[in-house]
Structure 1
Amino acid sequence: MAALPPQVTLAEAGRTLFELKQALSQQAGPVVTLDAASLRVFDSSAVAVLLELRRQLRAEGKTLQVNNWPRRLEDLMGLYGVGELLAP
C-alpha cells in the first residue's frame, strides 16, 4: 500500500504527486489504496494532491481509497467543500 509522507505542503506537493502516482500505478485492481496515517504537517496542497490523484485514477477507471485520515485533513476538506469526493 502506498502512503502519504509526513509532510505535504506547497513545497512538497509536486514531488509528492509524482511519487504517489508512481507508487499507485503499481497497484492492480479497481480500488487503489493510500495510507494517510503518517501525514502530520500539511496545508491545502495535500487536498490538491489527493484530488489530482483521484482525477487521474478515475480516468483509468479506478477508485482511490484513503485510509487512516488525520482528523484535521477531513476538516480541511470539509472547509473546501470537497469532503464527499474523498470521504473516508
Structure 2
Amino acid sequence: MSQPYLAPAELTAEFCGRLLDALDAPLALDHVCVDFQAVKSLDSSAVALLLEWHRRAQAAQRQLELMHLPSALSQLIKVYGVEEFLQIKA
C-alpha cells in the first residue's frame, strides 16, 4: 500500500469538484487509504465525493480505506444511509 492520501482541510462544494480525480492514479496502482485528519470544514458534497471515490475504487477492483473520519462526516454518511455502500462499520 502506498502512503495515505491526505484529504484537504476543506471538503465543501467549493472544493470537492476539484478532488474527483485525486485518487485515480493511486487507485491504478494499489489499495488506497484516505486520511481525513486535516479536515476542518465539510458539507454534504463530501459524502458525494466519497461515493464517487468508492465507485472508482470498485471499478478499478481496488479497496478504498477511510481513516480518521470527522464525526460530522460520519453523521452525514449515516443521515444519507450510505454506511453499507461505503463499507463503514458503525
TM class, shorter-length: 0.7 to 0.9
Q: In the aligned structure 2, how far is the partner of 1:7 from the partner of 1:81?
A: 23
Among the aligned pairs, what percent are the same residue?
Answer: 33
Partner secondary structure for residue 65 of structure 1 = strand
Partner deviation per Cα, 1:39-82 (whole Å, 9 max, x = no partner): 11011110111110100110010111001111111001000011
What is residue 58 of structure 1 aligned with on the other side? Answer: 58
Letter in 2 for 1:66: L
Q: CA deviation at 1:83?
A: 1.7
5+ residue gaps, structure 1, are none
5+ residue gaps, structure 2, are none
What is residue 44 of structure 2 aligned with on the other side? Answer: 44
What is residue 24 of structure 1 aligned with on the other side? Answer: 26
Partner secondary structure for residue 32 of structure 2 = strand
Structure 1-normalised TM-score?
A: 0.85
Partner deviation per Cα, 1:8-38 (whole Å, 9 max, x = no partner): 11111111223x224633752xx31110111
Contact 1:9–1:42 (CA<8 Å) still a contact in 2? yes
1:5 aligns with 2:8: yes
Q: Structure 1 residues 68, 23: CA separation in 2 closer, same or farther (over 3 Å shift)?
A: farther
Letter in 1 for 2:51: L
Q: Structure 1 residues 23, 6: CA separation in 2 closer, same or farther (over 3 Å shift)?
A: farther
Q: Which has the higher helix share?
A: 1
Q: Structure 1 residues 74, 61: CA separation in 2 closer, same or farther (over 3 Å shift)?
A: same
